Amino acid sequence: MVELSAALAGQHNNILAKMVPSPIRVVDDKFSTIDGILKLTLGEPDFAAPEHIKQAIIRDVQADDSHYSSSQGVLALREAISDYLVDRFDTPRYDPATEVSVTVGAAEAISATFQALFNPGDELIVPTPTFPLYASVAQTLGIEVIGLNTAPDFIVTPAKLTAILTAHPNAKAILLNYPSNPTGVTYSETELKALVAILREHQLFVIADEIYAELVYDAKHTSMARLLPEQTVLISGVSKSHAMTGYRIGYVVGPAELMKQVGKAHQAMVATAPGPMMAGALEALRNGREDPEKMRVVYEERRDLVLAGLAEAGFTAAQPGGAFYIFAKIPDFLNTNDTEFVYDLADTVKLGVAPGSIFGAGGEGYIRISYAASTENLKSAITRLKHYVDLRK
Amino acid sequence: MVELSAALAGQHNNILAKMVPSPIRVVDDKFSTIDGILKLTLGEPDFAAPEHIKQAIIRDVQADDSHYSSSQGVLALREAISDYLVDRFDTPRYDPATEVSVTVGAAEAISATFQALFNPGDELIVPTPTFPLYASVAQTLGIEVIGLNTAPDFIVTPAKLTAILTAHPNAKAILLNYPSNPTGVTYSETELKALVAILREHQLFVIADEIYAELVYDAKHTSMARLLPEQTVLISGVSKSHAMTGYRIGYVVGPAELMKQVGKAHQAMVATAPGPMMAGALEALRNGREDPEKMRVVYEERRDLVLAGLAEAGFTAAQPGGAFYIFAKIPDFLNTNDTEFVYDLADTVKLGVAPGSIFGAGGEGYIRISYAASTENLKSAITRLKHYVDLRK
């Protein structure tokens, strides 16, 4: 232990000092102290990275790729990202030299994009319930977050979009994360086109976080980079699609003028992503286009299993069209204070799920269940939930 | 190519927009267009990462370490960092749980530390000539950089330190990077103790970037974490010591109260460092303690080779006690405008070195030579330099 000089106590960044630790981590840590708990709290694939991706990393390490890469990422990977987006989502072709940056996961993509686009005091519209990282990063940069409550359908409708843009005519950007963490809800092409018609009439950026684009069950994913490229900065990565969250490779694509700024923020922040991890991402996008489908099929089975179990237990949920989350409403015959509910659930039947209110307005009275867990564990979770309902009914 | 909506042109962060690309990269890119050029511009080990470190990464990938790690880094690595600092530099033992964060290279360590410590408008004293990244990161955060010109000895003396602290009584921190990039100059324990006696009387942080601590030639490295732990945030990493820059593993250690804030900045910025790269760093610190010495011996021979060659060509240099840079004064019989000099040198004898002025006040009239290059190339460089001097004398 090292003692801080008393005179220097509290002498740090004011904004960061006020920031609380990630609430989902706090809940998860509390659950971790309960013996025998089954946690469906965190959003992480339970699959291991595909073998051919692991082999590509191993070959890269063996080939002594231990030196600095190009700051925006090795060119071959930037080319693969451009090609992939065109082939898979019919986007325009982003210029690998000037319109693509490889980042340390989608997290750094968000940080670099926010830093590049916003000045302190700028307004960012964020539909809620939402992944808490956006607000954390916005807070550190002095960005004013305008929440847009999307309950009970958990999609931004044309009416809601028009209303918020009217109320906040100077908003600089809107963040769209779909399929959504925490709700699993996503948009059809028709729904998106209705939003795009409105967005096109306003001078604002769309920051589209489409990290779950490969995990879509009921229809094909439609990218904002296809519908509205002239206003869109697209954030994505291979973490969820190829079950390689720990390898930390994400990316940002957008018009060159913006990407020049994103690239500067990225360079100052981390210099460059690690070479062997980029070799893995390159393999994923060049030779692993079929990998997500294998996992998608399994996730879809799990989703349906959990949805059915929830229904039997008396829970309803908005249709989870993507990602690996179900956002379920706590039925009225139970304690609908979601924080109290999840702790009682954990204490009583040793099942850990995330309380909806930590994801912002609209999440109160809901729970988020991650089905990135084994089928066996999901079956056990349903049994536990039903047992809990029987006890409390 | 994707066209940005005309209405959104120029709508990005004001500070970043004004930031110029890294000047060393600009120079290096220009040199790269010259056929047959021999570049000693960039500061990167020419060694490959040691084989046992590569094998540790490969084993980690094979063991399916593709999931999120703990945000502050795997605990085993944080423990190894604490142990290493105690064993190698006789620092206090930093608590792995609360006083150590693993970052994406020293670059992210700098970003996270600056973000954690400073509010906009805070003053940071930076001795010059200096590595340009500090000023870039400071600029993006609104930190006011107070330059301290250290020419011609390129060390902060007690007199200079007292003068700048008197002139800037509210300075929040001083950055000390030693061994120094770009000068190669470092401090003896006696010199540091004289500075510490002054620093202890002032309420300011010391941000000690000791990334080159293992590359010290004439005496043992003394860490600020040993001499003044109560005011110090130590930034380091394994990139230079173990020739693994591209793996991007750095770290920050300091008193828990500060590290709590650094950890939040780090989590918001990148979530966590990549698992397999951390496995490599763990191997480096646990079983690769002898690796740096093998490289150090080679670098020292190269340093002496270049110093001798420079002297024969009429150049003097401050004693480069560490890192792999020599900061040499352009002799008066040549064009001492360093920018003009380096381009003429590159055009005439195809030798690329960095102009001193890009490293800030005190660097004018100097060149930085990186001797992280093969002995053969260094001999050729000296021959080219002598030839140039003969042509221009």
If asked whether residues A138 and A226 sit together in one domain, one would say yes
Q: Which domain holds residue B79?
A: 51-287
DSSP character string of A315-372 = -EE----BTTEEEEEPPTTS---HHHHHHHHHHHH-EE-EEGGGG-TT-TTEEEEE--
Sign of CA dihedral B61, B64, B68, B69: negative
Indicate the burial class of A263 (C-beta count within 10 angstroms; 0-12, 13-18, 19 or more): buried
Residue B77 sits at φ, ψ, to 5 deg, of -70, -40
**Cross-strand bridge partners of residue B147:** B126
**Cross-strand bridge partners of residue A124:** A145, A173
Decide: helix, strand or coil at residue A233.
Answer: strand
Best of B28, B61, B259, B261 to substitute, by most chain A Cβ atoms within 10 angstroms, is B61
pLDDT at A201: 96
If asked whether residues A200 and A314 sit together in one domain, one would say no
The alpha carbon of residue A130 is apart from the nearest alpha carbon of chain B, in Å, by 15
Does A141 fall in a domain?
A: yes
Residue B172 confidence class, pLDDT cut points 50, 70, 90: very high
**Domain final residue pick, B231, B256, B287:** B287
C-beta of residue B107 within 8 angstroms of C-beta of residue B133: yes
Nearest to B48 by CA among B240, B293, B244, B237: B244
Does B4 fall in a domain?
A: no
Does A61 fall in a domain?
A: yes
Q: Give the separation between CA B2 and CA A270, rounded to whole angstroms.
A: 26
C-beta of residue B208 within 8 angstroms of C-beta of residue B233: yes
Best of B3, B14, B15, B16 to substitute, by most chain A Cβ atoms within 10 angstroms, is B16
Residue B235 confidence class, pLDDT cut points 50, 70, 90: very high
If asked whether residues A236 and A247 sit together in one domain, one would say yes
**Domain final residue pick, A287, A308, A323:** A287
Q: What mean pLDDT is predicted for residues B144-152?
A: 97
If asked whether residues A65 and A178 sit together in one domain, one would say yes
C-beta of residue A73 within 8 angstroms of C-beta of residue A278: yes
A1, A8, A270 member nearest B108 (Cβ): A270
**Domain final residue pick, B287, B304, B336:** B287
If asked whether residues B143 and B268 sit together in one domain, one would say yes
If asked whether residues A298 and A280 sit together in one domain, one would say no
In Å, how far are A323, A370, B307, B322 from A118, measured between CA atoms? Answer: 28, 32, 48, 40
Does A172 fall in a domain?
A: yes
Does B6 fall in a domain?
A: no
C-beta of residue B175 within 8 angstroms of C-beta of residue B124: yes
Across A274-292, b (16+ Cβ under 10 Å) vs e yields bbbbbbbbbbbbeebeebb
Residue B26 confidence class, pLDDT cut points 50, 70, 90: confident
DSSP class of residue A127? E
C-beta of residue A271 within 8 angstroms of C-beta of residue B107: yes
The alpha carbon of residue A332 is apart from the nearest alpha carbon of chain B, in Å, by 36
Q: What is the pLDDT of residues B336-390, one digit of tens each?
A: 999 999 999 999 999 999 999 999 999 999 999 999 999 999 999 999 999 999 9
Q: Give the separation between CA A326 and CA A307, rounded to whole angstroms.
A: 8
Does B7 fall in a domain?
A: no
Q: What is the pLDDT of residues B198-217, one digit of tens each?
A: 999 999 999 999 999 999 99
CA atoms within 13 A on the CB side of A226: 15
Tell me what the pLDDT averaged over chain B comes to.
96
**Cross-strand bridge partners of residue B326:** B369
**Cross-strand bridge partners of residue B102:** B251
On chain A, the residues whose CB falls within 8 A of the CB of B115 are 13, 16, 140
pLDDT at B22: 78
Q: What is the pLDDT of residues A51-104, one digit of tens each?
A: 999 999 999 999 999 999 999 999 999 999 999 999 999 999 999 999 999 999
C-beta of residue B320 within 8 angstroms of C-beta of residue B310: no
Nearest to A279 by CA among A51, A55, A88: A55
**E strands, B169-322, in order:** 173-177, 205-209, 232-237, 249-253, 316-317
If asked whether residues A142 and A41 sit together in one domain, one would say no
DSSP class of residue B356? G
Token output for A206: 């769309």
pLDDT at B354: 96
Q: Which residues contact A310 (CB under 8 A, 6 or more apart)?
A: A316, A317, A326, A328, A369, A382, A385
Mean pLDDT per 10-residue section of chain A, whose length is 393 residues: 90 87 84 93 89 98 94 96 98 98 98 96 98 93 96 97 98 98 97 98 96 95 98 97 97 96 95 97 98 95 97 94 97 97 97 97 97 95 97 91
Q: Which residues contact B172 (CB under 8 A, 6 or more apart)?
A: A11, B117, B118, B122, B123, B124, B204, B205
Best of B1, B2, B70, B124 to substitute, by most chain A Cβ atoms within 10 angstroms, is B2
pLDDT at B11: 87
C-beta of residue A52 within 8 angstroms of C-beta of residue A288: yes
Sign of CA dihedral A316, A320, A326, A329: negative
pLDDT at B12: 86
pLDDT at A385: 98
Please name the residues between 245 and 274 in chain B that touch chain A, using a CB distance below 8 Å: 245-248, 253-258, 261, 264-265, 267-274
If asked whether residues A60 and A93 sit together in one domain, one would say yes
If asked whether residues A176 and A316 sit together in one domain, one would say no
Sign of CA dihedral A312, A317, A321, A323: negative
pLDDT at B25: 80
On chain B, the residues whose CB falls within 8 A of the CB of A5 are 203, 230-231
Helices (H), chain A: 14-18, 23-32, 51-62, 75-89, 105-117, 133-140, 158-167, 189-199, 224-227, 256-270, 275-287, 291-313, 338-349, 375-392
Element (DSSP H or E) covering residue B128:
strand B123-128
If asked whether residues B151 and B231 sit together in one domain, one would say yes
CATH of the domain at B358: 3.90.1150.10
A57, A99, A116 member nearest B12 (Cβ): A116
Does A55 fall in a domain?
A: yes
C-beta of residue A246 within 8 angstroms of C-beta of residue B69: yes
Residue B21 confidence class, pLDDT cut points 50, 70, 90: confident
C-beta of residue A272 within 8 angstroms of C-beta of residue B300: no
pLDDT at B19: 86
Lookup result for tokens 């300011």: B204
Q: Give the separation between CA A272 and CA B246, rounded to whole angstroms.
A: 8
On chain B, the residues whose CB falls within 8 A of the CB of A57 are 61, 276
- The rounded percent of chain B whose pLDDT value lies above 70 is 100
Nearest CA in chain B to A229: B2
CATH of the domain at B163: 3.40.640.10
Q: Lowest-pLDDT range, A326-340, B21-35, B163-177, B232-246?
A: B21-35
Number of folded domains that form chain B: 2
Counted across chains A and B, CB pairs separated by less than 8 A come out at 271
Residue A241 sits at φ, ψ, to 5 deg, of -65, -35
- Work out the number of other CB atoms within 10 angstroms of the CB of residue B167: 11
Q: Give the separation between CA A332 and CA A315, rounded to whole angstroms.
A: 9
A271/B4 Cβ within 8 A: no
On chain B, the residues whose CB falls within 8 A of the CB of A231 are 5, 8
pLDDT at B241: 96
Would you call B276 an interface residue with chain A, using a CB distance cutoff of 8 Å?
yes
If asked whether residues B132 and B174 sit together in one domain, one would say yes
Sign of CA dihedral B69, B73, B77, B79: negative
Decide: helix, strand or coil at residue B228.
Answer: coil
Does A1 fall in a domain?
A: no
DSSP class of residue A38? E
Q: What is the pLDDT of residues B243-296, one digit of tens each?
A: 999 999 999 999 999 999 999 999 999 999 999 999 999 999 999 999 999 999
Q: What is the pLDDT of residues B29-68, one digit of tens each?
A: 899 899 999 999 987 888 999 999 999 999 999 999 999 9
Lookup result for tokens 């990186």: B370
If asked whether residues A309 and A218 sit together in one domain, one would say no
C-beta of residue B313 within 8 angstroms of C-beta of residue B391: no
